[in-house]
C-alpha cells in the first residue's frame, strides 16, 4: 500500500530560510523534500522572488540555491488566474494574494511560511482547505505521522 505524500507549498520566506540556514526548521523541510518524503510545490513567483532576493542580498549563496533546486525537483504551480488572485486579496494583503491563490489552486496539503502575521488569520483559514504553518509547526505535524515503534 502506497502512502500519499503531503504536498507542501513553500513561500519565498520559507524557501530562502531553508537555503540560508543549515540547521533551521525550514532546512529540515527541504531535506524531507529532497528525500521525497513530501512533495515540494512552489510558484514561479516564489522562484523569481527567491532568486532576486538572494542575488541582491546574498549573492554568494546563489549557486548553492540553484544546485539545491535541481536536487529538490519542485513541482511548479501554475500562475494563479487573475480572478483567483482577486478572491484571495479579499482575505489577505494584496502582495500575498498571488501566493495564497497559487497554493489554493495547486491543492496542497500545507502552505509553509514565516509570514504568520498575514497568513494565519481566521479569514485566511476559512478561505483555504489546508493549514498555513511555520516550518517548525509543519515538522511537528509530520513527526506525528511517524510510527512510534520500530
Mean pLDDT to the nearest integer, 133-145: 95
Residue 46 lies in a domain: yes
Give pLDDT tens digits for 58-80.
999 999 999 999 999 999 998 99
Number of domains within the chain: 1
Residue 35 lies in a domain: yes
Residue 91 lies in a domain: yes
pLDDT category of residue 1 using cuts at 50, 70 and 90: very low
Residue 108 lies in a domain: yes
Q: Which of 1-15, 30-44, 72-86 has the lowest mean pLDDT?
A: 1-15
Residue 147 lies in a domain: no
The strand ranges marked E within the chain are 7-10, 39-43, 75-77, 110-112, 132-133
pLDDT category of residue 37 using cuts at 50, 70 and 90: very high
DSSP state of 131: -
* DSSP sequence for 110-129: EEE-S-HHHHSSHHHHHH-S
Strands 110-112 vs 7-10: parallel, antiparallel or unpaired:
parallel
Q: What percent of the chain stands above pLDDT 90?
A: 87
CATH of the domain at 32: 3.40.50.1010
Higher-confidence residue of 93 and 145: namely 93
Residue 145 lies in a domain: no
pLDDT category of residue 150 using cuts at 50, 70 and 90: low
Residue 37 phi/psi, 5-degree rounding, is -85, -25
Residue 122 lies in a domain: yes
- Which residues span the domain enclosing 75? 7-139
Query: In this predicted structure, what is the pLDDT of residue 149?
Result: 63
State the chain's mean pLDDT as an integer: 93
Residue 86: pLDDT above 70?
yes
Residues 52, 1: Cα–Cα separation, whole Å: 42
Q: In terms of pTM, does the model score above 0.95?
A: no
Mean pLDDT to the nearest integer, 97-125: 94
Query: In this predicted structure, what is the pLDDT of residue 3?
Result: 64
Amino acid at each position: 500500500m502506497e502512502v500519499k505524500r503531503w504536498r507542501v507549498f513553500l513561500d519565498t520566506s520559507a524557501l530562502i530560510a531553508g537555503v540560508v540556514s543549515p540547521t533551521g526548521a525550514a532546512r529540515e523541510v527541504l531535506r524531507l523534500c529532497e528525500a521525497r518524503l513530501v512533495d515540494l510545490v512552489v510558484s514561479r513567483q516564489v522562484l523569481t522572488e527567491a532568486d532576486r532576493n538572494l542575488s541582491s542580498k546574498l549573492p554568494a549563496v546563489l549557486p548553492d540555491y540553484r544546485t539545491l533546486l535541481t536536487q529538490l525537483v519542485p513541482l511548479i504551480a501554475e500562475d494563479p488566474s487573475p480572478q483567483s488572485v482577486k478572491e484571495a486579496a479579499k482575505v489577505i494583503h494584496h502582495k500575498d494574494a498571488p501566493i495564497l491563490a497559487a497554493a489554493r489552486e495547486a491543492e496542497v496539503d500545507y502552505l509553509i511560511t514565516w509570514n504568520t502575521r498575514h497568513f494565519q488569520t481566521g479569514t485566511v483559514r476559512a478561505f483555504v482547505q489546508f493549514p498555513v504553518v511555520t516550518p517548525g509547526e509543519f515538522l511537528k505535524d509530520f513527526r506525528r505521522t511517524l510510527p512510534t515503534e520500530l
